[in-house]
Structure 1
Amino acid sequence: MKVGLYFGTFNPIHVGHLIIANHMVEHSDLDQIWMVVTPHNPHKVKANLVDDHHRLHMVHLATEGYDKIKPSDVEFRLAQPNYTINTLVHLEEKFPKHEFCLIMGEDNLKSFHKWKNYEVILERYSVYVYPRISVGKAENELIKHPHIHKVEAPIIELSSTFIRENIKQGKNIAPMIDHKVWQYIDHNLFYKK
């Protein structure tokens, strides 16, 4: 089974994340997408970052209706700070019959060379890249790497930051977020302050 790993804080998960994940699994050779919830680094103060387990629960709620999209808390049990290469090696050991790949926005390629062991990641794993408006003409040379696959997905310019700011201002964000996720956020008064 070929699994695409879509990492994020998902604070909160929104329709943009689901559109990208669903498009990647339906329009590539990936069999599943695992939404890997990145834990809160205890050494960093992160304003408005909801607890790990609440964010994981929101990903569960948002992905219930998608057979090929699964939530993952794999990084919750790994040493912090965590690096993508460590997660990939851990998952390979745990699921030896799966082939793991990365999913990232094209804008992340600009800083990919700063990732720990990025050369090893490129040598051993495929990277599926979706387009972002924020990428200029000076396209990264990495896009030409044989293990990088550009997938023509919809360009979604919706962010969790925008959603949090709108919740704080009391605006209606219903179209941007799964209904069950919105109920959970509202019930728990997340992002109100």
Structure 2
Amino acid sequence: MKIGLFFGTFNPIHIGHMIIANYIVEFSDLEEVWFVVTPQSPFKQKTSMLSNYHRLSIINIAVENYPKLKTTDIEFNLPQPNYTINTLAYIEEKYPKKQFCLIMGEDNLKGFHKWKNHETILQNYELYVYPRISNEQPKSQFSNHPKVHKVKAPIVQISSTFIRKSIKERRDISTMLPTNVWNYIDEMNFYKK
């Protein structure tokens, strides 16, 4: 089974994340996409960051009706700071019969050469790269690499930062989140302070 790993803080997950994940699982050779929830760094306490388990719960709610989309808390118990290469080694050991790939935005590909052991990652894993809008066209030395696959996923200009700010300002942004996620966030009073 070929699985795409979509890393992020997902604070909170929104329709942009869902559209990218669903598009990639439906229009590529990946059979599943796993949302890998990045833990909050104990050294960088952000008051707007929900706890690891709240963010994981919200993603579980978001994917409950999508059998090809899953969540994992695999990084929660790994040493901090998290490096993708360490997570990949751990996940390979835990699921030896599965083939893993990375999902990332074009902006991350541009800085990929700065990642710890990026050569090893590229040697052993395929990268599925979705487009991002930016003022400068992100050029990467890896753009034409045989293991880098450009995915023409729809571009949705929504950020988790915008979602949090809008909720705090008491704006109705319910259409920008999966309905069940919006209901849960509203019920739990997340991001309102």
Query: CA–CA distance in 2 between the matches of 1:4 and 1:44?
Result: 28
- Asked whether the 8 Å contact 2:23–2:153 carries over to 1, the reply is yes
- Asked whether the 8 Å contact 1:166–1:173 carries over to 2, the reply is yes
Tell me how far 1:75 sits from its aligned partner: 0.5
CA gap of 1:174–1:104, structure 2 versus 1, over 3 A, is same
Pair 1:78-2:78 in alignment: yes
Partner of 1:160: 160
Query: CA–CA distance in 2 between the matches of 1:181 and 1:83?
Result: 28
Query: CA–CA distance in 2 between the matches of 1:139 and 1:9?
Result: 25
- The DSSP-based 3-state class of the residue aligned with 1:145 is coil
- Asked whether the 8 Å contact 1:128–1:148 carries over to 2, the reply is yes
Q: Percent identity?
A: 58
Partner of 2:171: 171
Across the aligned residues of Structure 1 and Structure 2, the Cα RMSD in angstroms comes to 1.0
Higher deviation after alignment, 40-49 or 61-70:
40-49
Tell me how far 1:110 sits from its aligned partner: 1.6
When the two structures are aligned, how many residues end up with a matched partner? 193
Q: What whole-Å deviation, never above 9, does each CA across 1:49-96 have from its counterpart, x for those lacking one?
A: 000000000000000010100011110111111110011110111111
- Asked whether the 8 Å contact 2:34–2:72 carries over to 1, the reply is yes
- Asked whether the 8 Å contact 1:106–1:135 carries over to 2, the reply is no
- The DSSP-based 3-state class of the residue aligned with 2:75 is helix
Structure 2 residue identity aligned to 1:148 = V
- The DSSP-based 3-state class of the residue aligned with 1:75 is coil
TM-score (norm 1): 0.97
- Asked whether the 8 Å contact 1:107–1:135 carries over to 2, the reply is no
Partner of 1:52: 52
Partner of 2:63: 63
Partner of 2:126: 126
Per residue, is there more helix in 1 or in 2?
A: 1
Matches within 5 A, 1:16-35: 16-35=16-35
Query: CA–CA distance in 1 between the matches of 2:136 and 2:119?
Result: 24
- The DSSP-based 3-state class of the residue aligned with 2:132 is coil
Tell me how far 1:136 sits from its aligned partner: 2.8
User: Which ranges in structure 1 are unaligned for 5 or more consecutive residues?
Assistant: none
Tell me how far 1:117 sits from its aligned partner: 0.5
Structure 1 residue identity aligned to 2:50 = V
Q: What whole-Å deviation, never above 9, does each CA across 1:122-164 have from its counterpart, x for those lacking one?
A: 0110000001111634521211111110011101111000000
Tell me how far 1:179 sits from its aligned partner: 1.5
- Asked whether the 8 Å contact 2:107–2:138 carries over to 1, the reply is no
Query: CA–CA distance in 2 between the matches of 1:137 and 1:184?
Result: 37
TM-score (norm 2): 0.97
Tell me how far 1:182 sits from its aligned partner: 1.3
